[in-house]
C-alpha cells in the first residue's frame, strides 16, 4: 500500500473544504424574519436541509443587532451569504468558489423585484404571494446562472398581481404567466420591450443628492461627500433615443450608469445618450468625493455634558443655516444616540417636538422648517441611572434634512433631446438635496 495515500478526509488543518467543484452560484435561498422564523425556502439543485441555517442563527445571536450580522458566514460544507432588507434576512447557500458580490447583488435584485411586484417587500406580502414568489425565483436563476433580472422582462413572463387581475383570474381561470417569449429578452436592448404606447408621452428626471458628512465637535468638516442619483420615469411610445446633457458635466468624474447608457459617448462628449427602459429606473449614480468642496447646509452648536456627581447631565443644541444657496431647509430632524445610563430627558424645544425613547436610548427632535430669523434650540437636563458612573462614550448626533429645488453640488441639467420618434414629449427635471449619513460628533 502506498503510505502517502491522501485520505478522503474533508478537514485538514482546520481548513474547511468544499464538496464539489461545480460553480453553481446559489444553491438554496432561505428567507428568515427578524424573530428568527424561516418562512420560505427555495432550492435550485437538490434540497439542502434547513438545519444549515443554524450557523446563521448562531451568527445572528452573536451579532446582537441584525445589522451587524456578517455578510459571509462559513460553515463546514457551505458558505452562507446573506443580506438584511426590510427586516428580512435573505440567506443564500453556496457551496463553491463564486464571487460573493455576484451573490449579494443578486439577492438585492431579488429584494427589489419583490418590492416592485408587491409594493413592499415584507413577510406578509411574500407569504400572500408565495406562488408568484416561487415562479419569480425560478425565472431569475437557473442552475446558479441569473436568467432574467430586468423587471420589465420579468413582468412579461410573470404578471404582477393586481386586485383586478386576481379577481379576473378567479372568475375566468386565466393565469398570471406570460405565454410568449419576452420581446426584450434577447435583443441588444434587453431592458426595453417593443411596442410601448402612451397617449401622454412624458419623461421626468429627479436629481437626488445626499450629503454624507462627519463634523467634529467644533463644527469643522472631517469628511464630506455627495452621493447623487438621477432617477427617471420615462413613459414614451416606441423606441425613443434620448440625450441628456449637463451645464457642468465636469463635476462628474465618478459615475455608474444603467446598462442602457452608451459609455463611449459619455467618454467623448460628456452627454448621456440612451434608449430608456419603460417606466421607472435609475439612470445613473455619481459620487462627488471629499476632495471637492462639499457645501454643508446647516451648522449645529451643541453641548451635552454629564456631571461627575448627582446622576444628571445637561443638553443644549442649536441648529442654524450655513450654506443653503438661498433655499429653505425642511424636514430637519436631529437624532441623538444617548449613553445607556440616560434614563430620561427633561427638555424644552423652541421649535418642533422632541421624544426620548428610554428603551432604545434615542432622542429625536423633529424641527421641521428651519427658520433663520429665530434659530431652533433644544435645552434642558438629562437624568441618569442613580449611582452609575459618568458615561465614557460621547453621544453622537445625526442630522436629517431636505432642500427642495437644489442639487447641493451645483449639478444642472442643460437639455433633453429625443431622436427616433416624431411626437413631442413632456419633459421635467426636479432637484432635491437630502442628508445621508450626516453625523456631528460631540
Partner 1 sequence: MTDSKYFTTTKKGEIFELKAELNSDKKEKKKEAVKKVIASMTVGKDVSALFPDVVNCMQTDNLELKKLVYLYLMNYAKSQPDMAIMAVNTFVKDCEDPNPLIRALAVRTMGCIRVDKITEYLCEPLRKCLKDEDPYVRKTAAVCVAKLHDINAQLVEDQGFLDTLKDLISDSNPMVVANAVAALSEIAESHPNSNLLDLNPQTINKLLTALNECTEWGQIFILDCLANYTPRDDRESQSICERVTPRLSHANSAVVLSAVKVLMKFMEMLPKDLDYYGTLLKKLAPPLVTLLSAEPELQYVALRNINLIVQKRPEILKHEMKVFFVKYNDPIYVKLEKLDIMIRLASQANIAQVLAELKEYATEVDVDFVRKAVRAIGRCAIKVEQSAERCVSTLLDLIQTKVNYVVQEAIVVIKDIFRKYPNKYESVIATLCENLDSLDEPEARAAMIWIVGEYAERIDNADELLESFLEGFHDESTQVQLQLLTAIVKLFLKKPTETQELVQQVLSLATQDSDNPDLRDRGYIYWRLLSTDPVAAKEVVLAEKPLISEETDLIEPTLLEELICHIGTLASVYHKPPSAFVEGSRGVQHKRLPARAGSGESAESPDVGQSGPAEAPPAVIPSQGDLLGDLLNLDLAPPTATIPSVQPSMQMGAMDLLGGGLDSLMGDESDTLGGDIGGSPSMGAGLGAAPAAMPAALGSAPAVGGGLGDLFDLGGGVGMPTGAYVAPKTVWLPAMKAKGLEISGTFARRGGIIQMDLSLTNKAMSVMTDFAIQFNRNSFGLAPAGPLQVLTPLSPNQTIDVSLPLSTSGPVMKMEPLNNLQVAVKNNIDVFYFSCQYPLSLLFVEDGKMERQVFLATWKDIPNDNEAQFQIKDIHLNSDAASNKLQGSNIFTIAKRTVEGQDMLYQSVKLTNAIWVLAEMRIQTGNPNYTLSIKCRAPEVSQFVYQCYELVLKN
Interaction residues for partner 1, span 334-373 (CB under 8 A): 337, 339
Residues 104-133 that bind partner 1 (CB under 8 A): 104-106, 108, 127-133
Which is closer to partner 1, CB of 256 or CB of 405? 256
27 binds partner 1, rule: CB under 8 A: no
**CB of residue 295 vs partner 1: minimum separation in angstroms?**
17
Distance between CA atoms of residues 61 and 66, nearest Å = 9
67 binds partner 1, rule: CB under 8 A: yes
DSSP-derived 3-state class of residue 153? helix
Which is closer to partner 1, CB of 42 or CB of 327? 42
Phi–psi pair at 84, nearest 5 degrees: -120, 110
152 binds partner 1, rule: CB under 8 A: no
Which is closer to partner 1, CB of 71 or CB of 219? 71
Which is closer to partner 1, CB of 99 or CB of 387? 99
Residues 377-416 that bind partner 1 (CB under 8 A): 392-394, 396, 398
**CB of residue 168 vs partner 1: minimum separation in angstroms?**
12
Residues 179-218 that bind partner 1 (CB under 8 A): 179-181, 185-186, 188, 190, 212, 214, 216
Interface residue with partner 1 among 71, 76, 219, 420 (CB under 8 A) is 71
DSSP-derived 3-state class of residue 115? helix
168 binds partner 1, rule: CB under 8 A: no
In the chain, count H helices and then E strands: 7, 23
**CB of residue 105 vs partner 1: minimum separation in angstroms?**
5
CB 312 within 8 Å of CB 384:
yes
79 binds partner 1, rule: CB under 8 A: yes
Distance between CA atoms of residues 266 and 284, nearest Å = 12
CA-to-CA dists, residue 65 to 38, 61, 62, 304, 342, angstroms? 18, 8, 9, 26, 20
**CB of residue 373 vs partner 1: minimum separation in angstroms?**
32
Which is closer to partner 1, CB of 131 or CB of 247? 131
Residues 208-267 that bind partner 1 (CB under 8 A): 212, 214, 216, 222-223, 225, 227, 253-259, 263-264, 266-267
2 binds partner 1, rule: CB under 8 A: yes
100 binds partner 1, rule: CB under 8 A: yes
Q: How far is CA 332 from the centre of its chain?
A: 21
Distance between CA atoms of residues 236 and 274, nearest Å = 13
Q: Using the CB atoms, write b or e for 307-338: b if 16+ within 10 Å.
A: eeeebbbebebebebeebeeeebebbbbebeb
- Percent composition of the chain: helix, strand, coil (DSSP 3-state, to 5): 20, 40, 40
CA-to-CA dists, residue 359 to 63, 288, 340, 362, 390, angstroms? 19, 38, 9, 8, 19
Amino acid at each position: 500500500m502506498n503510505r502517502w495515500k491522501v485520505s478522503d478526509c474533508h478537514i485538514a488543518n482546520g481548513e474547511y473544504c468544499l464538496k464539489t467543484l461545480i460553480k453553481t452560484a446559489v444553491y438554496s435561498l432561505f428567507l428568515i424574519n427578524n424573530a428568527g422564523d424561516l418562512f420560505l425556502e427555495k432550492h435550485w439543485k437538490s434540497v439542502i436541509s434547513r438545519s444549515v441555517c443554524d450557523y446563521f442563527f448562531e451568527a445572528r445571536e452573536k451579532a446582537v443587532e441584525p445589522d451587524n450580522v456578517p455578510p459571509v458566514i462559513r460553515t463546514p460544507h457551505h458558505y452562507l451569504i446573506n443580506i438584511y432588507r426590510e427586516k428580512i434576512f435573505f440567506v443564500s447557500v453556496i457551496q463553491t468558489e463564486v464571487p460573493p458580490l455576484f451573490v449579494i447583488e443578486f439577492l438585492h435584485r431579488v429584494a427589489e423585484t419583490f418590492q416592485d411586484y408587491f409594493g413592499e417587500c415584507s413577510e406578509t406580502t411574500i407569504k400572500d404571494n408565495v406562488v408568484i414568489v416561487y415562479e419569480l425565483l425560478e425565472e431569475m436563476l437557473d442552475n446558479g446562472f441569473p436568467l432574467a433580472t430586468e423587471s420589465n422582462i420579468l413582468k412579461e413572463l410573470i404578471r404582477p398581481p393586481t386586485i383586478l387581475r386576481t379577481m379576473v383570474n378567479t372568475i375566468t381561470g386565466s393565469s398570471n404567466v406570460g405565454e410568449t417569449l419576452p420581446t426584450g429578452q434577447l435583443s441588444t436592448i434587453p431592458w426595453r420591450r417593443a411596442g410601448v404606447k402612451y397617449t401622454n408621452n412624458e419623461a421626468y428626471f429627479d436629481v437626488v443628492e445626499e450629503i454624507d458628512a462627519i463634523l467634529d465637535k467644533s463644527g469643522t468638516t472631517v469628511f464630506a461627500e455627495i452621493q447623487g442619483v438621477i432617477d427617471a420615469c420615462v413613459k414614451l411610445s416606441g423606441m425613443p433615443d434620448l440625450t441628456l446633457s449637463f451645464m457642468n458635466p465636469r463635476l462628474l468624474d465618478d459615475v455608474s450608469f444603467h446598462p442602457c447608457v452608451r459609455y463611449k459617448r459619455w467618454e467623448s462628449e460628456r452627454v448621456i445618450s440612451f434608449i430608456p427602459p419603460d417606466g421607472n429606473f435609475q439612470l445613473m449614480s455619481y459620487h462627488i468625493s471629499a476632495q471637492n468642496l462639499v457645501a454643508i447646509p446647516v451648522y449645529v452648536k451643541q453641548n451635552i455634558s454629564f456631571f461627575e456627581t448627582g446622576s444628571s447631565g445637561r443638553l443644549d443644541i442649536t441648529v442654524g443655516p450655513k450654506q443653503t444657496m438661498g433655499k429653505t431647509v425642511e424636514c430637519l430632524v436631529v437624532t441623538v444616540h444617548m449613553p445607556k445610563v440616560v434614563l430620561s430627558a427633561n427638555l424644552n424645544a423652541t421649535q418642533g417636538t422632541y421624544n426620548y425613547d428610554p428603551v432604545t436610548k434615542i432622542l429625536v427632535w423633529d424641527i421641521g422648517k428651519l427658520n433663520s430669523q429665530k434659530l431652533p434650540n433644544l435645552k434642558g437636563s438629562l437624568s441618569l441611572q442613580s449611582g452609575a458612573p459618568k458615561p465614557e462614550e460621547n453621544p453622537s448626533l445625526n442630522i436629517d434634512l431636505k432642500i427642495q429645488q437644489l442639487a447641493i453640488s451645483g449639478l444642472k441639467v442643460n437639455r433633453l433631446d429625443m431622436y427616433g420618434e416624431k411626437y413631442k414629449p413632456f419633459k421635467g427635471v426636479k432637484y432635491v438635496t437630502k442628508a445621508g449619513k450626516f453625523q456631528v460628533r460631540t
